[in-house]
């Protein structure tokens, strides 16, 4: 589980901008794929399509064989439950504690988050603590999210993503606003999800050196087209010189 098949996917935004242009990409379970490309290349559009945060114009995207681009209602919810998304701006509820934020991943929707917090079981709270421990943030369990550094917030977002035991983790420029030290911590956390927990990880990054340090495969996008796709063993740093 955790395979993603992108089949001839195009996305044209309502204003006519081409976000994706006939993308084909087969991701096997357990891969750590880094998508590189300049700003505007279509990286974010692709991740949003995989998670069905928006619709595509043409083509299909299969998650373990099921087409998420056409799924509706409960089928869509079931498919989405297997996918965790990590954003550039962490998407934490700033005034809530770290624990509450992590437990919100159990629900997934912040609108229901406050009213349902009381319903979390002891087992859920233990799982939250366990996941926080995995990213070295257990000592911040009761700390408010807005009292954390950017890197710490992203690690909480990763602990939250782990709550739903996803098979696929998508991360859209997760280290964009972080310093080198916290960048390494966040990338190491993603590597842990991939190597030790067997999750398929797909990360959008600007940085080629970082991609080379972590990816098992690098995919390049340019102007909505897939222009590069190699396993890490075949990647040469000069491939990205232009």
**Considering the complex, what minimum distance in angstroms separates the CB of residue 12 from ligand ADP?**
9
Which segment (14-22, 24-32, 103-111, 140-148) binds ligand ADP by CB under 6 A?
14-22
Overall size of the chain counted in residues: 242
Candidates 37-45, 69-77, 149-157, 186-194; binding stretch for ligand ADP (CB under 6 A): 37-45
Which of these ranges, 39-47, 84-92, 99-107, 117-125, lies near ligand ADP under the rule CB under 6 A? 39-47
Member of 4, 27, 31, 44 binding ligand ADP (CB under 6 A) = 44
- Does 40 bind ligand ADP (CB under 6 A)? Our answer is yes
Min separation Cβ 228 and ligand ADP, Å: 13
Which listed residue (2, 19, 105, 166) binds ligand ADP by CB under 6 A?
19
Residue 205, burial from CB neighbour count under 10 angstroms (0-12, 13-18, 19+): buried
Binding ligand ADP (rule: CB under 6 A), the pick from 27, 36, 41, 168 is 41
Q: Is 194 in contact with 201 (CB distance < 8 Å)?
A: yes
Strand partners for 5? 26, 62
Q: Contact region for ligand ADP (CB under 6 A) — 38-46, 58-66, 71-79, 144-152?
A: 38-46
35/204 Cα distance (integer angstroms) = 5
Cβ partners under 8 Å of residue 219, min gap 6: 25, 33, 34, 35, 36, 226, 228, 229
Q: How far is the CB of 167 from ligand ADP (least distance, A)?
A: 23
Is the CB of residue 1 less than 8 Å from the CB of residue 64?
A: yes
Nearer to ligand ADP, 51 or 97 (CB): 51
d(CA 42, CA 45): 5
Nearest position to ligand ADP, beta carbon: 44
The phi, psi pair for 9, rounded to 5°, reads -90, 130
Q: How far is the CB of 174 from ligand ADP (least distance, A)?
A: 13
Q: 217 Cβ partners below 8 Å, 6+ apart?
A: 31, 32, 33, 34, 229, 230, 231, 232
Stretch in the footprint of ligand ADP (CB under 6 A) among 42-50, 69-77, 79-87, 227-235: 42-50
Going from the C-alpha of 98 to that of each of 105, 151, 168, 240, the distances in angstroms are 11, 13, 23, 39
**Site residues (vs ligand ADP, CB under 6 A):** 13, 15, 17, 19, 37, 39-45
């Amino acid at each position: 589980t955790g395979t993603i098949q992108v089949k001839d996917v195009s996305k044209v935004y309502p204003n006519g901008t081409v976000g994706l242009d006939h993308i084909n990409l087969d991701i096997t379970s357990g891969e750590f794929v880094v998508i590189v490309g300049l700003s505007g290349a279509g990286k974010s559009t692709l991740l949003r399509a995989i998670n069905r945060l928006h619709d595509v114009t043409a083509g299909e995207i299969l998650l373990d064989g099921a087409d998420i681009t056409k799924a509706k209602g409960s089928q869509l919810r079931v498919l989405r439950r297997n996918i965790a998304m990590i954003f550039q701006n962490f998407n934490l509820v700033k005034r809530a504690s770290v624990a509450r934020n992590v437990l919100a991943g159990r629900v997934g929707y912040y609108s229901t988050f406050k009213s349902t917090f009381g319903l979390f079981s002891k087992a859920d709270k233990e799982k939250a603590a366990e996941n926080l421990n995995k990213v070295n943030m257990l000592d911040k369990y009761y700390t408010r999210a807005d009292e954390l550094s950017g890197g710490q917030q992203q690690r909480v977002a990763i602990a939250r993503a782990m709550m739903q035991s996803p098979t696929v983790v998508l991360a859209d420029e997760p280290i964009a606003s972080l310093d080198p030290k916290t960048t390494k911590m966040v990338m190491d956390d993603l590597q842990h999800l991939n190597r030790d927990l067997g999750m398929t990880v797909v990360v959008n990054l600007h940085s080629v050196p970082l991609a080379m340090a972590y990816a098992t495969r690098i995919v390049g996008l340019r102007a909505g087209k897939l222009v590069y796709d190699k396993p890490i063993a075949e990647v040469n740093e000069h491939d990205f010189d232009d």
